[in-house]
Chain A
Amino acid sequence: MGLKKLFLRMAAIGLGIGLMTSAALAANLRVLAWDGYADPDWVKDFTAATGVGVDVVFIGSDDEIWAKIKGSEGQDFDVFAVNTAQLQRYIKADLVSPIDVTKLANQKEVLPRFRDLTAVSGVTKDGKVYGIPFCFDSIGLIYDTDKVKPAPTSMSVLWDPAYKGKVLAYDNGEHNFSFTALTLGYQDPFNLNEEQMAAVKAKLVELKRNVLSFYTTADEAQQIYQNNDVALIWANYGQQQVKALQKIGAHVAYVNPSEGALAWLDNWVISKGVRDNAAAEKWIDFMLSKKVSGELSERTGFGNTVTETGSAGGNDKLVWLNNVEDPLKRSDMWNEIKATP
């Protein structure tokens, strides 16, 4: 039994190496992605199904993607993953090519909110589609089900004096301005005028007085939760954070606020220097299959655009993160808020 398995495995590995070398001779599809977006078994399945070999390069930051794509004017990669906040600058710099959505059979099967791509802010320009969403997570609210009753529906609960000193917030001016703007009912939380900025600042000073501490990493929030009386956590790390807390036995639940939850959204895009457009389309379509998308969520904990996940219910309002009007100003004002006694 064991021996047979071993032989089979060796044969499979041999076949894999053979395929890799033979594929490398032809023009491989060059993919640039975050770790977790192009796992080896998917790549193998993709090559088996389409006959297209794949070279994957993993990146660790938004800046690195920009450096790699901009550095070669898009010539070094065919497909890459980028979030909605970043995509517009690639379009502006003419580094990506429009995508013919009709070539992507699986795009018709995605969750309703991703079906009409013109409704997804940031992925289209002048009626052309440049990005195909495939992975996202919301920044919602984690609440302790024993301490917070009834279940909250809005971030405004963070200001509730009943939870004074029991709130954990995130130490980042940019996001805090955006979500507070949503809580105040502003339409565009990423472009605030002077008056709105001042109102948000005043509101954040109030929030600070209700907060126990501002955390920076998910681990840190978890440790504070364990050693203190925490009822509410503004969940910058979304699902991953909820699951980690539930794993240690915390009675917590997750909700996307009714005024809209900030959310990041990663998209597949085709670079300007694509060698084989059809192969790139096949890759994107393959990633949108139920199997790969489902596995992506299982493995990373993020939401996908094809199957329902804990990241967002069908009716949850999500606000895709975008570039803010002036990051430096928000950061300075955040310091002022923290320095206010």
Chain B
Amino acid sequence: MSGPGTIPLAERRWSLLVTALAFALPVVFVLVPLAIFLGYSFFSVDQGTIVHTLSLGNYFRFFTDPIFLPVFWNTIVLCLSVAAICILLAYPAAYFLTTLKGRWRYALLMLLLVPLLMSYVIKIYAIRSILGLNGFLNKALVGLGILQEPSTLFVFNMNAILLTLTLLLIPFAILPIFLSLERIPQVLLRASDDLGASGLQTFLRITLPLSLPGVASAASFVFVLAIGDFLTPQMVGGISGFTFGRILYSQFGTAYNWPFGAALSVALAVVVIAAILVGERFGRNRGTAI
């Protein structure tokens, strides 16, 4: 019985199905795997097989064993530095882009994003040969007379990881900053000018505050991507650049200790989720204030 104004039954069924599917996809492919992961973190391993009895042993070990927390903390500091450097470099670049007119702006933006199309591993290989002792960077510095002899300053250590991650992730910082700068209404800038503000004043009191949401999301993007990376530290970190991602990786590879690896991943996930929440909070607050 479908009277006027009510949705026909068949159509209602259809829309129910679509809604169910829309919810099922993220549940099946995101939430369920995450839940399984969380479950694993309470198991343990004995003689190479996983024991399915619940315990907090893995978490206890993470907090009490002297090696994990310091590495965890160092990794967070490293990734915060990567985020900070990325922002410092990306902001002027994005600002410069917004000053360009017409198609130049987007052509240049595309050029900056081209590295994202390349394989991650190939980029790391390339950067590693640039940073090497006989690499381009050292050769250039020696050639220019800045250094007497090749320096080991950026070879297989924390500096190398910092440089490599910054290079790899900077496009992720440019994009959100550029978008937030582009969204600033030109009338505000003109009004500021009309009212007698200098260029610097306009930047500090209008442009910068209005672009902070973009900066916040750029920072959280870069931080999250950097902290989840194990390949870059593995390949350029050498002996002193030991990061949390490398410990995690070894739990799933050579150690075959999935439960402990899962517990370490949960610790990492907590930090990542916190970073995303912080980024989103700042991003939205300022955004809606316009």
Contact = CB atoms under 8 A, between A and B. Distances in A.
A334 B249 CA distance: 13
A338 B74 CA distance: 14
Contacts of A226: 129, 132, 134
A238 B71 CA distance: 33
B247 interface: yes
Contacts of B88: none
Interface string A228-249: 1100000000000000000000
A226 B256 CA distance: 33
Interface string A267-310: 00000000000000000000000000000000000000000000
Interface in B64-86: 67, 70-71
Chain B at the A interface: mostly helix, strand, loop or mixed?
Answer: loop
A336 B67 contact: yes
Given A327-B256, A331-B250, A335-B250, A229 B156 contact: no
Interface stretch (B20-28, B194-202, B233-241, B270-278): B233-241
Interface stretch (A24-32, A145-153, A205-213): A205-213
Contact of A335 (B67, B234, B239): B67
A93 to B, nearest CB: 15
Given A228-B133, A339-B67, A172 B254 contact: yes
Contacts, number: 73
B110 to A, nearest CB: 30
Contacts of B70: 339
Interface in B124-139: 125, 128-129, 132-135
Contacts of B129: 223, 226-227
B102 interface: no
A212 B156 contact: yes
A173 to B, nearest CB: 6
Contact of B239 (A209, A224, A227, A228): A209
Interface in B54-110: 67, 70-71
Contacts of B132: 224, 226-228
Most buried by A among B70, B234, B246, B254: B254
A328 B255 contact: yes
14 contacts: A174-B254, A212-B156, A224-B128, A226-B134, A227-B132, A227-B133, A229-B134, A327-B254, A334-B254, A335-B247, A335-B255, A338-B242, A338-B246, A339-B70
Given A173-B254, A224-B128, 20 more contacts: A208-B239, A209-B239, A211-B238, A213-B238, A223-B129, A226-B134, A227-B129, A227-B134, A228-B155, A229-B133, A328-B45, A328-B257, A331-B254, A331-B257, A335-B247, A335-B255, A338-B239, A338-B246, A339-B70, A339-B247
